[in-house]
Amino acid sequence: MSADWLPRTLRVRLTAWHVAVMVVVLAMYAAVVLLLVTRNASRALDARLFSDFRWAAGMAEHGPDGSLSWFDGDPWSEESPWLQVWTPGGTLIYRTAVARRLPVPESEELLDNADGRIVSVASEPAPFRILGRRTVIGAEPVVVQVGRSEALMRQEVGELALVLLLGLPLSVAAAGFGGYYLARGALAPISTMTERARAITASRLGERLPIENPDDELGRLATVFNETLGRLDSSFTQMRRFTANVSHELRTPLTAIRSVGEVALREPRDASSYRAVVESMLEEADRLSGLVDRLLTVSRADSGDRARAGDAIDLAELADNVTAHLGVLAEEKEQALAVVRDGRPTCRGDRIVLRQALINLVDNAIKYTPAGGEIEVRVSASNGSAVLEVMDTGPGVPEQHAPYLFDRLYRVAGSVEAGIDGELNGGGGAGLGLAIARWAVEANRGRLSYEREGRGTTFRITLPGGGHDAAA
């Protein structure tokens, strides 16, 4: 079924719902008012009948011949009583002028049930109510009937119903117009934000939505949207920087391969010279291959390819393995590389991925620690967590660069304070080592943090503990 007839704008939908609710509420209100007024009018009519009976029983006049009579009043007046008096045997002994003008044939049939109840009798133009009751007037037992028509009551109720019926459309129309302008005013900030958001493009992510009241719902929505824009702006900036750095890193080995090849082809060479050229080209190809592998690893992180928890990992054994693997590099720089164990905590995760993270951190420490420095891998447990710390005595990271330490391809070239002339982020000089290390730690549900202590550097890996320490 097509729904094209439904209103499309939010303000029209809000107005439609507002009008619909008002119709229901006003209709229920009118129904309740009519019900209450009708009930009260009916009770008032019954009360007047009882009042008429008391008047008839107490205001009878005795004639010289012993007959009974009452004050009739104007037979056309609404206040003139409708009264009939009967003997117990069913003989009519008196009726007022109103009773003669408005005869009720069924009144005689009601004498047998004259027990003080009010009975409604069908009549024109409206039902007629009769109260019949036995009593004694002047020592004579009689049956007194008083009555009143429901015409006046129904007329009053009908007039009220007409007023409510005519007032309902006017009230709904007023509520509709008021609701529409109220909705338009309340949603005006959304229109402003829509126009501003439409003007924001990839090249204008620095713009933000206007916020009139940051404490209301629309203000909080705009605040969240602005925060999202800020994250997008940061992501686009990082992407542009990443793309530029990747282009540079890929161009460098390709340029070197091309240059070596062109130089080798300029003049004839012997076999050993060609062999040296090929070896140089292969070194650059290996460098290029390693860079591509690291970029693929970063791509896995971006795609959410997380490692799944596996077997228990002995962190002390993992630290021994990594330091043995990289010990030759430390020996070349006459550095002291040691593992300090405070227990043998375990964790659960992907051993290969976690080993790569630790290799990157230790390799980074060896690379930027001066010759003769010290590097320490500390293994411990803290508050149910397993902790791996890589500490060195190097120059540390300049404070202004610390927030970007784990950004991919972020480099601090020629930093005098750091005492380095290469890339701070490791990864074979491509600025990917620490970014990969952070992904590897987070893939194992851990956290990688950095601290600078004096002239040294500490990278701390915190992992969920495996539940017990391995036997020492």
Report pLDDT digits (tens) over 294-303.
666 666 655 5
Dihedrals phi, psi of 201, to nearest 5 degrees: -125, 180
**225 within 8 A of 209, measured Cβ to Cβ:** yes
304 pLDDT band, cuts 50/70/90, is: low
- Give whole-number Cα distances, 311 to 343, 462, 463, 472, in Å: 19, 18, 14, 19
Would you state the pLDDT for residue 1? 43
Can you give the pTM of this predicted structure? 0.47
Q: Looking at 136, 155, 174, which one is the last position of a domain? A: 155
pLDDT at 217 over 80: no
pLDDT tens-place string over residues 145-154: 888 888 888 8
Of 274, 302, 330, which one is at a domain's C-terminal end? 302
- Residues 296 and 327 grouped into a single domain: no
Neighbours of 300 (CB within 10 A): 17
* Mean pLDDT score across all residues of the chain: 78
- pLDDT at residue 61 tops 50: yes
Please tell me the predicted confidence (pLDDT) of residue 74: 57
Q: Is 174 helix (H, G, I), strand (E, B) or coil?
A: helix
Whether residues 68 and 87 share a domain: the answer is: yes
Instruction: Work out the average pLDDT over 84-101.
Output: 84
What pLDDT does 212 receive? 76
- Between 271-302 and 433-443, two packed helices, what is the crossing angle to 10 degrees? 40
Q: Is the pLDDT of residue 220 over 60?
A: yes
Q: Please indicate, yes or no, whether residues 464 and 316 belong to a single structural domain of this protein.
A: yes
C-beta neighbour count of 353 within 10 angstroms:
19
User: What is the pLDDT, as a whole number, of residue 36?
Assistant: 93
**Locate tokens 């925060």: which residue?**
227
Identify the weakest region by mean pLDDT among 168-177, 357-366, 375-384. Answer: 168-177
pLDDT tens column, 126-149: 888 988 888 887 778 888 888 888
pLDDT at 8 over 80: no
181 found inside a domain: no
Do 372 and 460 belong together in one domain?
Answer: yes
Asked if residue 125 has a cis previous peptide bond (ω within 30° of 0), the answer is yes
Sorting pLDDT into bands at 50, 70 and 90, what band is 57?
A: confident
Contact 82, 70 (CB under 8 A): no
Verify that 384 and 353 share a domain, yes or no: yes
> Do residues 440 and 291 both lie within one domain?
no
Domain shared by 399 and 335, yes or no: yes
Please report, for the domain that includes residue 393, its CATH number: 3.30.565.10
The whole-number pLDDT of residue 426 equals: 43
Q: Among the listed ranges 16-30, 63-77, 247-261, which one has the minimum average pLDDT value?
A: 63-77
- The pLDDT value recorded for residue 377 is 92
Last residue of a domain, one of 263, 283, 302: 302
CATH code of residue 224: 1.10.287.130
* pLDDT tens figures, 250-286: 776 788 788 878 877 877 878 888 788 888 888 778 7
296/399 same-domain check: no
459, 320: one domain: yes
Distance CA 295, CA 439 (A): 12
Percent of the chain with pLDDT over 90: 4
Is 191 part of a structural domain of the chain? no
The answer to whether residue 211 is domain-embedded is no
Q: Quick check: is 272 in a domain?
A: yes
Average pLDDT over residues 427-453: 75
Instruction: Give Cα separations from 86 to 65, 68, 89, 140, 150 (angstroms).
Output: 17, 11, 8, 11, 24
Which of 348, 345, 337 has its CA nearest to residue 317? Answer: 345
Number of domains in the chain: 3
**Would 170 be classed as within a structural domain?**
no
Same domain, 18 and 120: yes
Question: What is the pLDDT, as a whole number, of residue 20?
Answer: 85
The confidence score (pLDDT) of residue 472 equals 42
- Calculate mean pLDDT across residues 55-73: 66
Calculate what percentage of the chain has a pLDDT beyond 70.
79
Residues 395 and 290 in one domain: no
pLDDT value, residue 288: 76
pLDDT at residue number 247 = 73
CB 332 within 8 A of CB 370: no
**What is residue 39's predicted lDDT score, i.e. its pLDDT?**
93
Tell me the C-alpha distance between 162 and 178, whole Å. Answer: 24
Q: Domain range holding 380?
A: 312-469
For residue 192, is it within any domain?
Answer: no
In a domain, 249, yes or no: yes
Segment of 73-77, 326-330, 407-411 carrying the highest mean pLDDT: 326-330
Whether 330 and 463 map to the same domain: the answer is: yes
Average pLDDT estimate for 202-208: 76
pLDDT at 37: 92
Q: Is residue 362 part of a domain?
A: yes
Residue 74's CATH number: 3.30.450
Q: How confident is the model at residue 413 (pLDDT cuts 50, 70, 90)?
A: very low
Q: Can you state the percent helix, strand and coil of the chain, rounding each to 5?
A: 55, 20, 30
**3-state SS, one letter per residue, for 175-187:** HHHHHHHHHHHHH
